Chains A and B, each alone.
Chain A
Amino acid sequence: MDFITQHPVLVVSLAKIVGLMFLLMTTLAYLSWFERKVIAHIQSRWGPYYVGAHGLLQPLADGVKFLFKEDLTPPSADRFVYILAPMLALTLALTTLALIPFGPPSVQWLGESTLIVANSSIGLMFVFAITSMGVYGVALAGWSSNSKYPLLGGLRSSAQMISYEVSLTLAVVGVVLLSGTLNFNEMIARQSGPFWHWNIFYAGHGSFPQIVGFLCYFMSAVAETNRAPFDLPEGETELVGGFHTEYSSFKFAMFFMAEYANMITVSCLATILFFGGWLSPFPESWTFLRYLPPASLLVLAVYLAYDTVVLARGIARIQLIVVTTGALLIGLVCLHPVALAVIQGPFWFLLKVGLIMFFYVWTRATLPRLRYDQLMSFGWKFLLPVSLANLVITALVKVWPLLVNHG
């Protein structure tokens, strides 16, 4: 116990990292379930429903499948780079999540804030630095497979990623101008108040609403993470599979997880920059809303109990009993004041991130794919000028009082 009190930074950091990794890996797995279910319901079918209740054990089955598949390496592939590429992609995709604040810095244990792993004063720039390194995973994967389709897919994919990085960064600079800081917690603090104080609407005196910025950011982010409608380089009907054609078993699973982790990162950034991060959209004076997290968990537990009793049979019933008890316990624990204070920030943050992920999956199910030249011309000839225009207008609106006074 002395060790814990003498080295608070080390202990708390290790605990945060372990907790975040655990939650993140589970979320990545269940994100694939979420995507399949949502796309299925949009397309008037059911999606996974067989493996466990509501298909909830499907990610587990997929994980087992990935682990037990045969791991082939193309004989003429460059072995070192072939193994390095998926490791690089997954590591970089997971590292960005260390900089994201899930809640207010006031939630502390042993004097260190617990809801953000690394509170850097230039957090935003580090996030962009790490995502710009993510291009290597794709390019090296395409190259090291030593085969036509992966090489073409890898080159196209990485060219697309570096093109949309520019407009991604420019769309965000408007928000940085309004906030005056690159630190995430301060950016969120400047958006405090009900939802009309968020950066996307009106972030205080003399600021231009960042709706255009958000739309540019979202479109660039969808292209940056190689998701539909910008997923030509990896669509199955186009280039067989793009840069990950020659990868099997766990290395393919690593690319898969890296793509979802990139999606999560980009959604978290959008929430922090445009939608007020972990702030509640309602005024602080409505204190009864502090009971919303445990209330929602208890409602979920009631629904699951109905499912257990009425609908499910067999293994699905056992699984649902476990999940219902879990939801019930967590809901009851959150009624305790300390846990209630801790859970406020993450609840709203995860809700907003979930909504943006829903938009991601919705776009995938709805829009057709763009051809590669259409994609590149859209990025360079439309998104880049619009992001620049947004930046210029935001800057003008901000310094207009100074110009008028001295003019």
Chain B
Amino acid sequence: MTLPFVVFFVCALLAVLGALTLILAREPIHSALSLILVMVSLAVLYLLLGAEFIAAVQIIVYAGAIMVLFVFVIMLLNAGVEERTDYSQLAKYAGLALGIFLLLALAHWMAHSLIGQQIANGVGASNASVSTRELSAQLFQKYLFPFEATSILILIAILGALVLAKKDE
């Protein structure tokens, strides 16, 4: 049990526990906190996979900005406890069974996929971390157009949020 395996299993366990708490929590604020836990453990997994810049971006943007927005909205709207649905109970149990079946099917296909086996046979990969310099070279040369397009997208999102949140005079 070398250190990478231990770190992987601890983070995977934390991520799955966080996702389960998201489903099972009664208060929305507890769901938000468990989602933050999932994101942080995923950031550690990205570090294990050698993507350190993406790990930092995940914490800064996802866990440090998007989830703050969620927590703000939950606090402002004072979202109450989760209520029970008044629709059919049969649909609930059948749905749960089907959902779990979907989860297990996806996991099985991912574990035994053809790509997975090719990779397991060691089709070309090195163990070095990706440097920020290489990533930014790709981002500003090959993917320049999507980069500029997403900046316009962010501008439109800011305008949209401003217009929606403004009170009608």
Give min CB distance, B46 to chain A, whole Å: 12
A230 at the interface (CB under 8 A from B): no
Q: Are A129 and B60 within 8 A (Cβ)?
A: yes
Alpha-carbon gap, A139 to B59, bound state (A):
17
Q: Which B residues touch A84, using CB under 8 A?
A: 33
Q: Are A81 and B68 within 8 A (Cβ)?
A: no
* Contact pick for B52, options A78, A121, A133, A143, CB 8 Å: A121
B53 at the interface (CB under 8 A from A): yes
Interface residues of A in 138-153 (CB under 8 A from B): 139-140, 142-143, 151
Alpha-carbon gap, A140 to B71, bound state (A):
8
* Contact pick for B64, options A78, A132, A155, CB 8 Å: A132
Count A-B contacts at CB 8 Å. 62
Q: Are A143 and B29 within 8 A (Cβ)?
A: yes
Alpha-carbon gap, A59 to B129, bound state (A):
45
Q: Are A126 and B72 within 8 A (Cβ)?
A: no
Q: Which A residues touch B65, using CB under 8 A?
A: 132, 162
Q: Which A residues touch B53, using CB under 8 A?
A: 122, 125
Q: Are A139 and B132 within 8 A (Cβ)?
A: no
Q: Which A residues touch B42, using CB under 8 A?
A: none
* Contact pick for B56, options A80, A81, A122, CB 8 Å: A122
Q: Which B residues touch A81, using CB under 8 A?
A: 29-30, 33
Q: Which residue of B lies closest to A132 (CB)?
A: B64
Q: Are A80 and B30 within 8 A (Cβ)?
A: yes
Number of interface residues of A (CB under 8 A): 27
Q: Are B56 and A139 within 8 A (Cβ)?
A: no
Known A-B contacts A126-B56, A132-B60, A132-B65; A143 and B36 likewise in contact (beta carbons under 8 Å): no
Q: Are B52 and A120 within 8 A (Cβ)?
A: yes
Number of interface residues of B (CB under 8 A): 22
Q: Are B52 and A158 within 8 A (Cβ)?
A: no
Give min CB distance, A129 to chain B, whole Å: 4
B76 at the interface (CB under 8 A from A): yes
Give min CB distance, B166 to chain A, whole Å: 16
Q: Render A154-176 as a binary contact track against B, CB cut-off 8 A, 1 for contact.
A: 11001100100000000000000
Alpha-carbon gap, A81 to B36, bound state (A):
13
Q: Which A residues touch B129, using CB under 8 A?
A: 121
Q: Are B27 and A78 within 8 A (Cβ)?
A: yes
Q: Which B residues touch A140, using CB under 8 A?
A: 29, 33, 71
Q: Which A residues touch B56, using CB under 8 A?
A: 122, 125-126, 128-129
Give min CB distance, B141 to chain A, whole Å: 16
Alpha-carbon gap, A158 to B72, bound state (A):
9
Give min CB distance, B51 to chain A, whole Å: 11
B75 at the interface (CB under 8 A from A): yes
Known A-B contacts A143-B75, A155-B75; A135 and B27 likewise in contact (beta carbons under 8 Å): no
Q: Which residue of B lies closest to A84 (CB)?
A: B33
Alpha-carbon gap, A191 to B145, bound state (A):
35
Q: Are A121 and B131 within 8 A (Cβ)?
A: yes
* Contact pick for B132, options A80, A136, A182, CB 8 Å: A182
Q: Which A residues touch B36, using CB under 8 A?
A: 136
Q: Which B residues touch A182, using CB under 8 A?
A: 132
Q: Are A122 and B59 within 8 A (Cβ)?
A: no
B11 at the interface (CB under 8 A from A): no
Q: Which B residues touch A130, using CB under 8 A?
A: 59
Alpha-carbon gap, A128 to B60, bound state (A):
7
Give min CB distance, B113 to chain A, whole Å: 32
B63 at the interface (CB under 8 A from A): yes
Q: Which A residues touch B72, using CB under 8 A?
A: 139, 155, 158-159
* Contact pick for A129, options B30, B33, B64, B71, CB 8 Å: B64
Q: Render A168-191 as a binary contact track against B, CB cut-off 8 A, 1 for contact.
A: 000000000000001000000000
Q: Are B60 and A136 within 8 A (Cβ)?
A: no
Alpha-carbon gap, A121 to B50, bound state (A):
12
Give min CB distance, A396 to chain B, whole Å: 17
Give min CB distance, A180 to chain B, whole Å: 9
Alpha-carbon gap, A75 to B132, bound state (A):
49
Known: A129-B60, A129-B64. 9 other contacts (CB 8 A): A81-B33, A121-B131, A126-B56, A136-B68, A151-B75, A155-B72, A155-B76, A158-B72, A162-B65
Query: What are 15 A-B interface contacts by the 8 Å CB criterion?
Result: A84-B33, A121-B52, A122-B52, A122-B53, A125-B53, A125-B56, A125-B60, A129-B59, A132-B59, A139-B71, A139-B72, A139-B75, A158-B68, A158-B72, A162-B68
| A contact residues vs B (CB 8 Å cutoff) | 78, 80-81, 84, 120-122, 125-126, 128-130, 132-133, 135-136, 139-140, 142-143, 151, 154-155, 158-159, 162, 182
Closest 9 CB pairs of A and B: A132-B64, A125-B56, A129-B59, A129-B60, A143-B75, A129-B56, A133-B64, A132-B60, A122-B52
